[in-house]
Amino acid sequence: MGNIVAIVGRPNVGKSTFFNRLIQRREAIIDSVSGVTRDRHYGKSDWNGKKFSLIDTGGYVKGSDDVFEAEIDKQVELAIDEADAIIFMVDVEDGVTSMDEEVANLLRKVNKPVLLAVNKVDNNKRLANAVEFYALGLGEYFPIASTNGSGTGDLLDALIEALPEIEEEEESELPRFAVVGRPNAGKSSFINALIGEDRYIVTDIAGTTRDSIDTRYNRFGFEFNLVDTAGIRRKSKVKENLEFYSVMRSVRAIENCDVCLVVLDATRGFDGQVQNIFWLAQRNHKGIVILVNKWDLVDKETNTMKEYEAMIRREIEPFTDVPIVFISVLTKQRVFKAIETAVKVFENRSKKIKTREFNDIMLPIIEKNPPPAYKGKYVKIKFCMQLPTPHPQFAFFCNLPQYVRDPYKRFLENKLRQEFDFEGVPISIFFRKK
């Protein structure tokens, strides 16, 4: 589990360019599955062998400067709450602005590492001009140019130096299930229904629950840790951007769990924010169970379970092998089934297939349906195995790995899912040269 680093600053100081620069190397690999990065504001990076997750908090601000005034406070608060270190970016062309000063005021009170990055320093004159940023009272600054990357090495060295050591927490053998979803979808009520005591006082204001809480659950022969991301701590002023913030708040819980229970409100559908949370879990290779809550409120005439389920599966293509359970936490309907399903998904995610058995089953399938020839070259797959990783990854060894196309990867994945039960678990398939 790596640290979380947040980038804050006014619009147009170059945060996104910097963000993209840091994650591009990895991003290309992470997202080769669907070829789309669905969420441009979260990514993973590493420097000198130390991995960290990066959040670009400025992702969602549209509109004028005055809208931004209120917005930047929220961004900085989000960063202060959620991150282990903060990179505050300013622009040497604009010099110190009143908004920079405001951000600096908030950041000076924080006892987390704050690194001041002065961007767009691409010549000596600008290097001299950067001195004025000492006035922000944040100590040393790092002159960088995020377009060509100069200076970013020093900044990253200092960042890695400043990141807190993560204590390897005692690896409990227990699986960790995270309950995630948008505010008011019924996450806390779901946990109450399970635990059977109102440990959370659930009210109807979005974001009434505080930080994520771990609960050890031991009933009906199941034992696991329940990680509740429980909405968002917030003052009433965060109305507009609950979307972005609740997704960002889920990052840590998702990175830290084995199975994500994605709770959605049946009356609101599988909307953009739920999808973002879903793809975040999928990109982190977590087991996933989708729980459709408040099913008792849906007008059954128009929406049968089958149609509703089909609608969700269309939205999550190509990774459709995910269990969907319709629940009502109010009437406790199928709440237990939800947990049973999560346990099953956890088992699927930790499943190891013997190499011999895997070859016996997959090679005949491949022989029957070999990869299509590409540029007149034939790909021959000779051997395959599951890799010893925490989540299911498979390597297929062949003569020309570079000629295997995505549709064939999907074909193999579908066959694999038919033969071995990997419901709810993202699978990675690699082609390697023998």
Q: Which residues are annotated as a binding site for GTP?
A: 9-16, 56-60, 119-122, 181-188, 228-232, 293-296
CA torsion 367-373-377-379 (nearest 10°) is -30
Longest CA–CA span in the chain (Å) reads 70
Give CA–CA dist 228/194, Å, rounded: 12
Phi and psi torsions of 126, nearest 5°: -70, -30
SS3 248: helix
DSSP string, 324-376: EEE-BTTTTBTHHHHHHHHHHHHHHHT----HHHHHHHHHHHHHHSPPPPBTT
Which single residue is written with the structure tokens 């996933």? 288
Length of the chain: 434
Which residue from 318, 350, 282 is spatially nearest to 414, judged by alpha carbons?
318
Q: How far apart are the first and last CA of the chain?
A: 32
Which single residue is written with the structure tokens 């809480």? 213
Q: Residue type at 230?
A: A
In eight-state DSSP terms, residue 231 is S
Q: Residue type at 433?
A: K
394 Cβ contact list (under 8 Å, min separation 6): 358, 384, 385, 386, 387, 416, 427, 428, 429, 430
* Contact assessment for residue 119 and residue 146, using Cβ atoms and an 8 Å cutoff: yes
Residues 212-247 as b/e (b if ≥16 CB within 10 A, e otherwise) read beebebeeeebebbbbbbbbbebeeebeebbebbbb
Phi and psi torsions of 393, nearest 5°: -135, 140
30 Cβ contact list (under 8 Å, min separation 6): 43, 44, 283
Which residue from 242, 267, 246 is spatially nearest to 181, judged by alpha carbons?
246
* Helix residue spans in 151-215 (DSSP H): 152-162, 187-195
Please report, in range form, the residues annotated as the binding site.
9-16, 56-60, 119-122, 181-188, 228-232, 293-296
